[in-house]
Chains A and B, each alone.
Chain A
Amino acid sequence: MKGTEAAARVIGSLVAVSAALGLLAGCVAAPSGGGAAPVAPSATASPGADPASRPAAAAPPASVPEIPRQSASLEEQRRAQPPAPTRVEVPALGIDMAVRPVGLDAQGNMALFDDPAVAAWYQWGPAPASGSGSTVIAAHVDSLEYAVLPFAKLRDARPGTLVVVTDAAGTRHSFGVDSLEVIEKGVVDWDAAFDRSGASRLTLITCGGEFDYVNRTYLSNLVLTATPR
């Protein structure tokens, strides 16, 4: 009787651990078709489970819970980074620009290139091959030196407009435009635009809306969201 109770307790804790692992897997797992076998959600049987566990006396295999383990060696830490985007094209709008990585400017804003032919990729966020999160590419809409720039044409995008991002590995990632919004700068949800989790998507950003002719700045950002297709 005592044994059954113990077994029940073990199963109970297994269920709890499985649930926790399931949660973790759900959050962390990239849809890259990895080999990590998900933990069986049921405690009654886990036919594919690691047979190396100690022999189970009772019918339910009361094996040790599968807690993720890895070597903590320095070498293990060096994960391969996804290749950086190098080119963005919107054929229907005649946009074809080189892309280079950037971080932040001195004011804590995303840095952009003055070169009118180069768009900026936020290097601390996802890349198209990351498998999750928002790849952010931004460029100036205009400049006093170069007049109207390619990203000015983004306002003519339509739902489904094709956007192609090529990365350093030569892979062409195709996206279809989902939404295009002009949002006042103080109201833009930057945490959503720069989100590193959730489904893989592309966010193109430039300026738009009304202009403050005294302070030489646009009052809004144009934020285009596109999803893989």
Chain B
Amino acid sequence: MKKILIAGIGAGALVAFGAVAPATASEQNAMLSVLHGIPDTPVDVYVNDELTLDDFQPGDLAGPLELPAGTYSVVLAAPDSTDASEPVLGPIDLPLEAGGNYTAVAHLDADGAPTANLFTNDVSDIAAGEGRLTVRHVAAAPPVDILAGGEAVISNLANPDEQTLNLPAGTVEASVAATGTTDPVLGPAPVDVAEGTLTIVYAWGSLEDENLDLAVQTISGMHSSPDGVPAGSAGLVATNAPEQQFGIWATAGLAILAAIALAAAAARKAVTAKAER
């Protein structure tokens, strides 16, 4: 039952609020972001032989773009290139499935050679009050542990692997240390794990070249609503009378009062009788 007490002029406008920023693409399309994680190497990015990102800088994130599902061929070329014929890296095939959410990352492998990976972002619903944290190791560095508040929350993460956790929303003091150690090579740095949002932290750069850094990407819109709003406990403004229950109590109460009265009367009678004797 849905009882409308009043409906004003603007009520119809509620219907128009349908527009939602989608974390997932429409059914036929995919969402793609691109992260540049190769230090000191600006590039031109060609997608299917067309210049798509001109002079793309290390540490920058492009997108998201909504693209029809399919396989895209990507070439990274020097920034002064005129076409995709002289790749710095590639061509790389990016198979994008309908409804998928992806980040293509150009980065260094564990030994420091340029490479690229297509990561799939987990944009499934997140419980109310929580955020999701994904950590990706895309740095020229040995396996690492991710520490939060000094304790390892992710262990032995190697390039180019990733790991995902759901956490209560809030700020995590995150640091990155070589596996089995607690001495940070990166951080500690405050990472905001926002509610209903996927926060992706990339460790990128090169340990040897001393340019390790963190990059962050966020994807929002996976939040859930609370289950309800319990906002009253006394029934004082209820639209129903407490009829039955109240009736029973009233009857019981009267009965008790009556019993007390009778007992008292009897006792008094007894006392009086005694006194008269």
Please list the residues of chain A having a beta carbon within 8 angstroms of any beta carbon in chain B.
9-10, 13, 17, 20, 23-24, 26-28, 53-54, 64-65, 67-74, 76-78, 103-104, 107-110, 112, 122, 124, 138-144, 147-148, 151-152, 155, 157-160, 176-185, 187-188, 190-199, 205-211, 213-214, 216-218, 221, 225, 227
Q: How far is the CA of A185 from the CA of B67 in the complex (A)?
A: 41
Q: List 13 A-B contacts (CB under 8 A).
A: A64-B52, A72-B60, A124-B196, A157-B6, A179-B7, A180-B6, A181-B2, A198-B18, A199-B16, A206-B229, A217-B232, A221-B231, A225-B11
B20 touches A27 (CB 8 A): yes
Q: How far is the CA of A104 from the CA of B195 in the complex (A)?
A: 12
Q: List chain B residues, Cβ under 8 A from A148.
A: 236-237
A23 touches B239 (CB 8 A): no
Partner of A181, one of B3, B17, B65: B3
Interface of A is mostly: mixed
B232 touches A72 (CB 8 A): no
Most B C-beta atoms less than 10 A away, residue of A53, A70, A211? A211
B192, CB-defined interface residue at 8 Å? yes
Q: For chain B residues 188-214, which have a beta carbon within 8 Å of chain A?
A: 189-192, 195-196, 199, 202, 213-214
Known contacts A71-B61, A138-B231, A179-B4, then 10 further A-B pairs from the complex at CB < 8 Å, ordered by chain A residue: A69-B61, A124-B169, A138-B229, A139-B231, A142-B232, A143-B232, A178-B14, A181-B5, A193-B225, A221-B229
Partner of B128, one of A10, A104, A155: A104
Q: How far is the CA of A33 from the CA of B23 in the complex (A)?
A: 24
Chain B residue with Cβ nearest A191: B225
Partner of B231, one of A78, A190, A205: A205
Q: How far is the CA of A191 from the CA of B223 in the complex (A)?
A: 10
B85 to chain A, nearest CB (A): 15
Interface of B is mostly: mixed
Q: How far is the CA of A194 from the CA of B189 in the complex (A)?
A: 31
Chain B 227-246 interface 0/1 with A at a Cβ cutoff of 8 Å (1 = within): 11111111111111010011
Q: How far is the CA of A199 from the CA of B17 in the complex (A)?
A: 6
Partner of B50, one of A13, A71, A77: A13
Q: How far is the CA of A213 from the CA of B52 in the complex (A)?
A: 66
B152 to chain A, nearest CB (A): 20
Q: List chain B residues, Cβ under 8 A from A176.
A: 8, 10
Which 7 pairs from chain A and chain B are nearest by CB?
A: A159-B8, A198-B17, A207-B232, A211-B238, A211-B235, A72-B215, A141-B232
Chain B residue with Cβ nearest A210: B240
Please list the residues of chain B having a beta carbon within 8 angstroms of any beta carbon in chain A.
1-11, 13-14, 16-22, 35, 50-54, 56, 59-67, 127-129, 169, 189-192, 195-196, 199, 202, 213-218, 221, 223, 225-240, 242, 245-246
Q: List chain A residues, Cβ under 8 A from B221.
A: 196
Partner of A28, one of B21, B51, B65, B190: B21
Q: List chain B residues, Cβ under 8 A from A227.
A: 10, 13
B129 to chain A, nearest CB (A): 5
A17 to chain B, nearest CB (A): 7
Chain B residue with Cβ nearest A157: B6
Partner of A213, one of B4, B62, B245: B245
Partner of A109, one of B196, B226, B239: B226
Q: How far is the CA of A137 from the CA of B120 in the complex (A)?
A: 36
B5 touches A108 (CB 8 A): no
Chain B residue with Cβ nearest A212: B235
Q: A77-B218, A181-B2, A198-B17 are in contact. Are A218 and B225 (CB under 8 A)?
A: no
Q: List chain A residues, Cβ under 8 A from B189.
A: 74
B2 touches A67 (CB 8 A): no
A213 touches B234 (CB 8 A): no
Q: List chain A residues, Cβ under 8 A from B20.
A: 27, 197-198
Q: List chain B residues, Cβ under 8 A from A213.
A: 235, 242, 245-246
Q: How far is the CA of A152 from the CA of B11 in the complex (A)?
A: 22
Q: A73-B216, A179-B4, A196-B223 are in contact. Are A216 and B235 (CB under 8 A)?
A: yes
Q: List chain B residues, Cβ under 8 A from A26.
A: 19
Chain B residue with Cβ nearest A193: B225
Partner of B129, one of A104, A209, A221: A104
Q: List chain A residues, Cβ under 8 A from B51.
A: 64
Q: How far is the CA of A229 from the CA of B240 in the complex (A)?
A: 35
Partner of B238, one of A158, A160, A209: A209
Partner of A207, one of B5, B56, B230: B230
B234 touches A143 (CB 8 A): yes
Q: How far is the CA of A65 from the CA of B34 in the complex (A)?
A: 14
A142 touches B235 (CB 8 A): yes
